[in-house]
Amino acid sequence: MTDLRSLTQHDRRRFLHTATFATAAAWLTGVRSRAETLPEAEITSLRKFMAEELATPPYPIPGVVVMVGTLEEILFHEAVGLAQVTPREIPMRPDTIFDIASVTKVVAAATACGLCVDRGLLDPDAPMSRYLPDHQGTGIDKITLRHLAAHTSGFAANPRLYSWGKGEAFFQGMLAESPSWPVGTRYEYADRNTILLGVIVERVTGLPFGEFCTQEIFQPLGMKDSTFNATPHLDRVAGTHIEAGISHNTDSLAAGRAIGAVGLFTTAPDLARFCRMLLREGLHENKRFLSAEVIRDFTRDFTQSQDLEAGFSSRGFIWATGEEPYRPERLSASAYGHGGWTGTALWIDPEKELFALMLGNRIHPKVLGGNSRIPQYKKLARIADRILTALDR
């Protein structure tokens, strides 16, 4: 691990500046942090560790926001490093807005489907053809919504979904393709699964997916900084490898509207409101938002019940329920979460009654070569584990 002393004088000064900025911003935004009550030596140690992990070669990350909270209290909320390196340096702050990439799948798609189940609009065990009768692919009759959500539908991952065209041509291309394997025989993580779930939500509600999420998820939960694609607060946006405030994902851009796979921009405080609703088994401000039955059903391991080839990832209804490179080791076996390609992760631990958010900008200012994703995810998990350890003392 890189020692902080080995950083250049400029890097050390930049780290100290951003750490001070984060603390000041926390006071201004009213964030309650248990880090304020930790011994000064512990606070210094945690900040140093975060900076070292971010800077460690060969796959550094410019900055990170980490939050750990419970039902009632924010235990830790710190921002370290830079939100943007170029075209000018912008310090990371506690309310930095992130392109959360595939964390969109659980915050938006899974929640939207859950609301539709509660309202009697969807049956997770019904065939997708019930809701998409115009799907022209062969071999889809046995694919249920739950197969789509667990990535066991048989649809292959395709890194170039945008090749189908833009706008409606993008969706028509998707509705014309057939699965590559028999349903329930192979796990393959594929964005099209949750894009199709988003289309199904549109069909049963009569609303564009993004509009439904805004009206039925973000506004009721008070997630004021959560939006799809372009955001007006560019001075608060964490950079990716393309223009700030625009989804990094080419499929999202080709679709031309919000989809169920990627494209959501949000903050740690907004995600905290979402996580607390789940920890309260669907209650938000003493009102029922989502049924406890749906939450329990969506976060149970569905993949274990299928005769899958080796190498699958344990999944519920979109939610990851097993080991992942971005999962902190100090979480209990009951924890469920999801990660995003941009360097983001969200975990909820019902047994310990806490949530952990790790929001980084690993693909800024460019996507690093090699298999950089896994070691960068593990950096985030190690940072969270160190903080969880300190909070347990």
Task: Give the pLDDT of residue 234.
Answer: 78
- Domain 98-365 sits in CATH at 3.40.710.10
Average pLDDT, the chain: 88
Residue pLDDT, tens place only, 241-260:
877 777 777 788 889 999 99
* Per-domain residue ranges of the chain: 98-365
Cα Rg of the chain (Å, integer): 20
- Going by pLDDT thresholds of 50, 70 and 90, the confidence category of residue 372 is confident
Identify any residues that bridge with 264 across adjacent strands, giving them in sequence order: 228
Query: What pLDDT, on a 0 to 100 scale, did the predictor assign at position 230?
Result: 64
pLDDT band, residue 371 (cuts 50/70/90): confident
Q: What average pLDDT does this structure show over 354-359?
A: 98
Q: How confident is the model at residue 102, as a pLDDT?
A: 96
Q: Work out the average pLDDT over 281-303.
A: 97
Burial (CB < 10 A; 0-12, 13-18, 19+), residue 368, is: middle
Given a cut of 50, whether residue 21 has pLDDT beyond it is: no
**Calpha distance 126→128 (Å, rounded):** 6
**Worst-scoring range by mean pLDDT, 12-16, 249-253, 317-321, 327-331?**
12-16
Whether residue 92 has pLDDT greater than 50: yes
Q: How would you list the strands of the sheet with 336-340, edge to edge?
A: 90-91, 74-84, 63-70, 354-360, 344-349, 336-340
| Euclidean distance between CA atoms 271 and 224, whole angstroms | 10
Cβ-in-10-Å burial (0-12, 13-18, 19+) of 140 comes to: buried
Neighbours of 243 (CB within 10 A): 12
6 pLDDT exceeds 50? Answer: no
Both structure tokens of 25: 């911003």
> Residue 231: pLDDT above 90?
no
What b/e readout covers 321-342, taking b as 16+ CB neighbours within 10 angstroms? bbebebbbebbeeebbbbbbbb
pTM of the model: 0.90
Across the range 152-166, mean pLDDT stands at 87
pLDDT at 16: 39
Residue 28 has pLDDT above 80, yes or no: no
Residue 94 has pLDDT above 60, yes or no: yes
Instruction: Say whether pLDDT at 37 is over 70.
Output: no
Split at pLDDT 50, 70, 90, the class of 32 is very low
Hunting for tokens 């700030």 — which residue is that?
Answer: 244
Cα–Cα distance for residue pair 88/212, rounded to 1 Å = 35
Looking at residue 40, what is its pLDDT?
78
Least confident of 83-97, 152-166, 193-207, 316-330: 152-166
Angle of helix 191-205 versus helix 111-118 axis, rounded to 10? 40
Confidence label for 306 from pLDDT (cuts 50, 70 and 90): confident
- What is the per-residue pLDDT for 318? 98
Average pLDDT over residues 378-382: 96
Q: What is the mean pLDDT of residues 282-309?
A: 91
Residue 182 amino acid letter: P
- How far CA 256 is from CA of 134, 162, 210, 226, in Å, comes to 21, 11, 11, 18
Residue 19's pLDDT is 45
- The predicted pLDDT at position 248 comes to 76
pLDDT cut 70: percent of the chain above it: 88
